[in-house]
Each structure stands twice: as structure tokens, then as C-alpha cells.
Amino acid sequence: MVRSGHIELFVEDVYLERGSITISSKRRGTSITLRRFQEEVVRLLGAKERESSTEESESVRYIAVEAPTGGGKTFATLAPLISNVLFDTGYGGVAGVYPTKPLVNDQFISIRDTLDRLGYRESEIRVERSEGGEARAVEVAIKYRLELEVADRRTGTTREVNTTLGLVRLTRETLDRLQGSLRNASGRLSLLDLVRRALLDADYLISVAVPEYPYLMLSSLYRSVPDAQKLLSLAAEEGFVYSLTKEIASSVPEKAVEIVRRFRSELAQLLQPKSTERERFNVYSALFSEVMFLDEFHTWTVYERPAVLALILLHYFESLRTPRPERYKVILSSATPQREFYDLLRRLNLGEVVVVRATPVGASPEADRVKSGTVVRFVPCQTGQDSGAISWFMVEDHIPGIVEELASEIRSRERAIVFGRRNAVVEEAAEAFCRVTGEEPVVVTGVKTKFPGKELLEQRRESGRLYVFGNYSVELGIDLRRIPFGVVYGVYLGEVVQRLGRVGRGDVDRAEVVIPIPSGYRQDVEQFVEKHGNRVGYQRFVELLRDIMPEKLGVEVYGTEFATRHKLGKLRVYLPLATYVLTLVALWEHVEELRRLCKRFAEVVDALEIPGIFRWMKKVSKSADVLVPLASFRVTTSVPYRRDGIEDYAPLSTLLGNYDVRYENGRLVIEGTSKKSLQGVLALGCRRLPRELFDTLLPSNLLLLLMEESFTDNSRRTVLYRVLKDYPIPVYVAPVEEDYGVFNAFGYAIRVEIAMEGKAFYLLTL
């Protein structure tokens, strides 16, 4: 029971040290003092490049920011502007990229609130949108007038600036405007150039978006322009692009000009000779600004890491087309260290990587409190397995019972967050809370329910009764203030730390968090309390969590290695880069600069050992249904569903693993929740091993057509089979010796059993 069996700790407030740079609004009468780590980012952006440097790769190009949730990492979007004021750096703005749409909205609001304290709005752009059944105008762009004084106590410098700043949230509506502007443009444009042309003109711009939006410009191009589809297919032709770039790079200038001319002549026969769409290939240059900010970097999944790397590499190659490539910077923000990825960037010789850490300090007049002191109640729960990684998954089943027991207490605190992982568990917990209290909670899981959804979060961001129930999609999607109570569940360390940071922010005097743990770890927690007492600092508390929790999920252990070692990961890195280079060879007139870029492209491809997959690429289907998802950012097998009259899209594994569904008119119809094992629902039966199809990548509907007589009758009647048959979902047919059991458990792969032979193989879904 929760009350009789819990172990209680008090985790002290989290403070971060202030720095020596202060921003003051002359007209508003407000001021903000940067924290020490924020100031370090500003100084790195403002540092003069080494005068002795002859190679742009020697400059600081990557700034890795590590700070607790709520520490102020997002303030990095203003760091280039402050650098402009103090160090005359002249940055035009920053493109912020976030993992989820809710987080984009959250950060737009957070930055907007800061700018409202510092300046005055000159203009706004709103779009009409229906949320929660009601139409309302949503802000997508705001132009500010800023009259600031920036003081640096370290150097004794004080400077004033009168400037304009534009804050833009890239949505489908704003993206349409950008694409419309792109069609009428010529030459090289940056993302911020397009924003200035199509939305609002300002001296400094901040754009915030999920990665799909810049990548969506590419996906749209690939799908809608026949020439672009042909370029993408050409990029997937074994080592064609790699060989072409090596030939251009190694030739003398006159020979390189002839190679480019010959390629363009041959390309003209392949492409539509009078296509006016060809100039739209310049969309690659419109993906970036000088400074790119990748937030919540630790959350990118194993399948997304290759696309993140491709995005960073595209940003790097695009910088080589500018007079000062060293000015192109990437800021990577993370709540936990990402050493593997930092080491990869260093190995690729793209530029210096500097890590900036925000280290908690003791309470003092020179420090800001970023999180309140928190009472943590560990609740040991009996599971089928009392310890080990799997036990952390099993303990989630206790959350609805914990919520039911604590429902009245949660209600009395008026604002609370309950985290689960699986949709079914989250919905069961919300139902239990509603049953006991009569209160309708907010439920945010990515699949719509009868309860209110994310439309209420912004309205009650700062105050008012709010009970939020959500899974991993909500942990990154809200920055709610004054939340004093939470039930925090996670299966690995980073997940729990991230969710803890969502409770006790925004002037909460004291917060309370309940953490269910497998019963096998009770003794570890009790020994920790006996040794350190029941009042500890935040760092020591995280050490306790590290001792009892897995550092990473089983599938996330692949992490960066998937991008650099697995053929699918390598292909997802290579396709966007190869198409980009083909575009430049087809359009860019500066052959000498093209030679240098081709040389670096070939060097990066070699460093990632991508040539090792070129022969295998003959087995990759060249259909748009396969290539476009591979070259695009997000990897999700989303399908349409209907629930209580609401129609939407959700990942196939989420729908099958959390709900009772039937298949009707090409969509899944949700009939109720069900906590099914993904290993049970993502499974098919087959009569023979399709050896001739092993190691291929093709659409699922084609695969099932080729194997139509091989699947068992039971499998052919399942919802999974019917979806795979009706939709061209890209799948990699892994040979028997490639075991992807862990991918199957996390919903990334389908297990196919060969009953007669006692064997199985996997279909990796893309």
C-alpha cells in the first residue's frame, strides 16, 4: 500500500549560479541576469576565431549544453542576439528544432513571455485553428521592438541596442507561405531569408519548429516534383554519387568543369528538359540559418538519430557555400550527457565540440532557484520480476491503483501531473481519478480520448485546477508552472529525471512526487537513507536513481551506433546528403567551391564507412513509398483511426498495443483499451522462410503480395496483416541470423514465426 509501504526522502531545492551579463529593458524597466552556463554560450558565440587557424574545422562549431529541466536551456535562442550586442558578431537569428509539436508550442510561449518582458509588440500574425471543438486564432509570428541595455560586469562593458526581433512558429500554414515564396526565388536562400520575405521582416529572427517542417519541404518536393523523385532515386543507386564526387574532387579545375558539364548533359536527358520546378531543388539551402538549436537532444530515438546526424551534416555542408563557414554553429541542448554523439562529431572533423554544463550550487543571493525542494515517496510494488530492467516496465501496471488511492490527495493539491508510459495505463489511471473525485482530468497521449486534451494546457499554464495524465508525448510538450504534485514513472534514468523536472517549477514552495519502484530495490533505497539521511541534494538523489535504474532502454543502447554501424542507419544519413550533392552539381555554378565541398562529402562518407552498404543498396526498392520516408526525418508507421466519432492518425504499434481495435474501411476503429504485449500483437505466422527476399527493403504491400501464399490463415485474418497489405509501409526483411527481438518489444519490428522450422525472422518497420 502506498501509505504503509513508502520510503520518503526530501530532495533540496535546485539552484543555478548567476553570471555577470544583465539585459535590461529601458522602456519596460525589467532586467534579466543570465545564468553562468547561459553566459558561457554567449561568450562562445562571441569569441573571435583563432587568427592562426587555416582550417574552418578548427573553429568552435558545436556547443553542447547540459542542464537540468527548467534550467533555462531554451534561452540559447537569444544568445546570438546578446553576442551581437556585446561582441558585434552580426548573427541574423537562430532556427530552433524540437522533438515534438507540443514542445514547439511550449517553447514558443516561453520565448514569447520573455520577449513580452523585454520589448513591445509591433505586429502579429495569427491563423484560425480548431482546437477542442472550438475555433480560435493562434499566434504564429510576432514582431517585437527591443530597446535594451546589455551590461557585462566581467569586462565593465555596457552597450545599448534598438532593434527588431521576429518570433515565428513554423506550422503547416506558415510553411505554405514559405514554399510559395521559394517558388518565386532564385539563388541561395536561408530559412530566415524566406521568413523575412514571406512572413515578417526583422533584424533578428527566432524560428521554432519540429524537424519535420524543414524536412517537410524536402518531402513535399520529393513527392510532388517528378525530377526530384528521379534525383532521389539516383542518389540511392549504389555508389553513384560518391564516385561522382570523388571524381570531381580529385580532378584539376578544367577537368572538373568538364565532368560537371557532362553530368548536367546526361541529367537533362533524365529530367524534364523544360521543368520550371527544377529551381525548387534550392530548397536544401532554405533549411537552415547560421545558428541551429537542437533542443532536448537526449530524446531522439534510435531511428531518429541518423536523421539528426544528416540534418547536422547538411547544415555543415551548407556552411561551406558561404564566405565564413565558421560562423555556422549548432547548439545541442540535453538534460543528460551525450558523449557518444560528441565523440562522433569530433571524429568527423567538422569543428570543435565544447560542452557547457549547468552545475547545481547551494542556495545563495547569487543563484536562481529553478526547482523547489521536493518530497519524494518511493512506493515499492510487487511485480512478476522484482529487479532488473524488465521489472521497471512491469511496475507501471500499479499506477492506476496508486492514483486511485491518492486521488483525494491529488485533488486537494489542485494541480498535478501523472506520468505513465503506455496509453492504456494512462487512460486507466485517468479513469480511476475521475471515478473517485468526479473531476475530468486532461489526458495527452497522442490518441484522443473522451477527456479534454492539450487544448486546455495553455489556458491553465500558470494557474487554475489542472490534473494532467500523459505519457512520453506529454513530458516534452508542456512547461506548466506551479505544479506541486506528481506521480512520476519511467523505465530508465533519463526518463525519470526529465519528468521530475516537470514538477515543482514556477514558485512552488514545496513539491511532492510519488515514484513507483520494483520491490527488489526497496533495500537499496533504505540503505541509501541510512547512509545519507532523508534530506539530500539533487545531485546525490540522481546518484541514487542511477544506482537502481537502467541508464538507457534496451533499444536505445544502439543509440548513435545505429547511425554509424547499421546499414539502415547509414542509408538514412546518406540519402539526404547524396541528393543534396546531386542538386549542387546540377545547379551550382561555382565549380571550384563545388570541388572542395565534394572532397569533404567524400571524406565524411568514408569516415562513416557508408561505402560498405553500396552493394546492398541494389536490394532497396526505388519507389517513393520507400525512399521518401528514408530521406525524411520522422520514422513512424502511422495509420488512420477512428474513436467515438473522432478521426486522426497514430503509430500502428500504439494502436495495436494499447487498444482493442477492428479494421474497417481502411482504418482502425478503437473499441476500448487493452494492455497487450507488443511482442504478441506485432507478430505473424508463416509457412516458409523467404530466403530470396532476405536483406531487402521494400513496401509491405509488395512483400505480402510476393509471399501471399506463405502466411498462415490465422495471420491473414489479423488487423496487422490487413494494414500491412493495404498500406505501403517500408519494411526491411532481416535474415534469420539478425535478431531484432528488442526492436520487436519496443514496436519497431514485426516478428514472423516459421512454425514448421522452429525459426523466426523480423520485419523492421520504417
Least trusted range by pLDDT, from 3-12, 157-166, 641-650: 3-12
pLDDT of residue 204: 96
Is the pLDDT at 203 greater than 70? The verdict is: yes
Place of cell 573553429: 59
Pick the residue with more confidence: 267 or 443? 443
Q: Are 125 and 139 in contact (CB under 8 A)?
A: yes
For the segment 284-312, the average pLDDT, to the nearest whole number, is 83
Please, which residues have CB within 8 angstroms of residue 601's CB and are 6 or more apart in sequence? 245, 317, 577, 581
> CA 677 to CA 534: how far, in whole Å?
38
Q: Pick from 254, 101, 211, 93: which is nearest to 163 by CA?
A: 93
> CA 220 to CA 209: how far, in whole Å?
17
For domain 368-536, which CATH number applies: 1.10.150.130, 3.40.50.300, 3.30.470.20, 3.20.20.210?
A: 3.40.50.300
SS3 208: strand
Find how far residue 319's CA is from the centre of its chain. 23
- C-alpha grid cell, residue 169: 512558429
Least trusted range by pLDDT, from 428-432, 471-475, 711-715, 733-737: 471-475
> CA 605 to CA 721: how far, in whole Å?
38
Band of residue 52 on the pLDDT scale cut at 50, 70, 90:
very low
Least trusted range by pLDDT, from 168-177, 235-244, 246-255, 530-539: 168-177
Topology alike, domains 14-46+59-357 and 368-536: yes
pLDDT of residue 638: 83
> CA 71 to CA 572: how far, in whole Å?
33
pLDDT of residue 143: 97
φ, ψ at 200 (rounded to 5°): -155, 150
Is the pLDDT at 85 greater than 50? The verdict is: yes
pLDDT of residue 280: 60
**In 19-171, which residue ranges form alpha helices assigned H by DSSP?**
36-46, 79-87, 101-118
Hey, which of 6-15, 553-562, 627-636 has the most confident mean pLDDT? 6-15
Q: Which residue type, as a one-letter code, is found at position 148?
A: L
φ, ψ at 371 (rounded to 5°): -155, 135
pLDDT of residue 511: 94
Find how far residue 130's CA is from the centre of its chain. 25
Domain layout of the chain by residue ranges:
14-46+59-357, 368-536, 638-765
How many CB atoms lie under 10 A from the CB of residue 511? 23
In terms of DSSP bridges, do strands 134-152 and 352-357 run parallel, antiparallel, or are they unpaired?
Answer: unpaired
Is the pLDDT at 264 greater than 70? The verdict is: yes
Q: Is 30 exposed, middle or buried (0-12, 13-18, 19+ CB in 10 A)?
A: middle
- C-alpha grid cell, residue 235: 542518389
- C-alpha grid cell, residue 125: 500574425
How many CB atoms lie under 10 A from the CB of residue 488? 23
Q: What is the mean pLDDT of the chain?
A: 88
pLDDT of residue 461: 82
Q: Which value, to the nearest 10 degrees, does the dihedral of the CA atoms of residues 387, 392, 396, 397 take?
A: -40
Give the whole-number percent of the chain exceeding pLDDT 70: 91
Is the pLDDT at 644 greater than 50? The verdict is: yes
> CA 596 to CA 103: how far, in whole Å?
38
Band of residue 54 on the pLDDT scale cut at 50, 70, 90:
very low
For the segment 376-401, the average pLDDT, to the nearest whole number, is 94
> CA 426 to CA 418: how far, in whole Å?
8
Hey, which of 348-362, 395-409, 445-459 has the most confident mean pLDDT? 395-409
How many CB atoms lie under 10 A from the CB of residue 146? 23
Is the pLDDT at 424 greater than 50? The verdict is: yes
pLDDT of residue 269: 78
> CA 524 to CA 549: how far, in whole Å?
11
φ, ψ at 17 (rounded to 5°): -70, 140
Please, which residues have CB within 8 angstroms of residue 80's CB and are 6 or more apart in sequence? 45, 89, 91, 93, 94, 204, 290, 291
pLDDT of residue 1: 38
Give the tens place of pLDDT for each residue, 307-358.
889 989 999 998 998 888 989 999 999 877 888 999 999 999 999 999 999 9
pLDDT of residue 415: 95
Band of residue 636 on the pLDDT scale cut at 50, 70, 90:
low
Place of cell 514465426: 753
Please, which residues have CB within 8 angstroms of residue 522's CB and are 6 or more apart in sequence? 7, 378, 380
Q: Are 221 and 182 in contact (CB under 8 A)?
A: no
> CA 103 to CA 108: how far, in whole Å?
8
Is the pLDDT at 278 greater than 60? The verdict is: no
pLDDT of residue 475: 54
| E-assigned strand segments in 412-544 | 415-419, 442-444, 466-470, 485-487, 510-518, 535-536
For the chain, counts of helices (H) and of strands (E): 29, 29
- C-alpha grid cell, residue 400: 492506476
701-732 burial, b at 16+ Cβ within 10 Å, e below that, comes to bbbbeebeebbbeebeebbbbebbbebbbbbb
What superfamily does domain 14-46+59-357 belong to in CATH?
P-loop containing nucleotide triphosphate hydrolases (3.40.50.300)
Least trusted range by pLDDT, from 208-217, 235-244, 285-294: 208-217
Is the pLDDT at 296 greater than 50? The verdict is: yes
Is the pLDDT at 592 greater than 50? The verdict is: yes
Q: Pick from 38, 111, 129, 110: which is nearest to 478 by CA?
A: 110
For the segment 486-513, the average pLDDT, to the nearest whole number, is 89
- C-alpha grid cell, residue 278: 527544377
Band of residue 3 on the pLDDT scale cut at 50, 70, 90:
very low
For the segment 94-109, the average pLDDT, to the nearest whole number, is 85
pLDDT of residue 72: 86
Least trusted range by pLDDT, from 189-193, 404-408, 462-466: 189-193
**In 151-290, which residue ranges form alpha helices assigned H by DSSP?**
172-183, 191-198, 212-224, 226-235, 240-250, 253-270
pLDDT of residue 131: 55
Q: Are 141 and 125 in contact (CB under 8 A)?
A: yes
Band of residue 360 on the pLDDT scale cut at 50, 70, 90:
confident
Q: Pick from 153, 76, 142, 154: which is nearest to 113 by CA?
A: 142
Q: Which residue type, as a one-letter code, is found at position 45?
A: L
> CA 405 to CA 333: how far, in whole Å?
38
Helix (H) or strand (E) holding 547: helix 538-548
For the segment 369-397, the average pLDDT, to the nearest whole number, is 93
> CA 82 to CA 152: how far, in whole Å?
11
> CA 694 to CA 682: how far, in whole Å?
19
For the segment 223-247, the average pLDDT, to the nearest whole number, is 87
521-548 burial, b at 16+ Cβ within 10 Å, e below that, comes to bbeebeebbeeeeeebebeebbebbeeb
Please, which residues have CB within 8 angstroms of residue 106's CB and are 6 or more apart in sequence? 477, 478, 479
pLDDT of residue 167: 96
pLDDT of residue 251: 93
Q: Is the dihedral of CA 412, 417, 418, 422 positive or negative?
A: positive
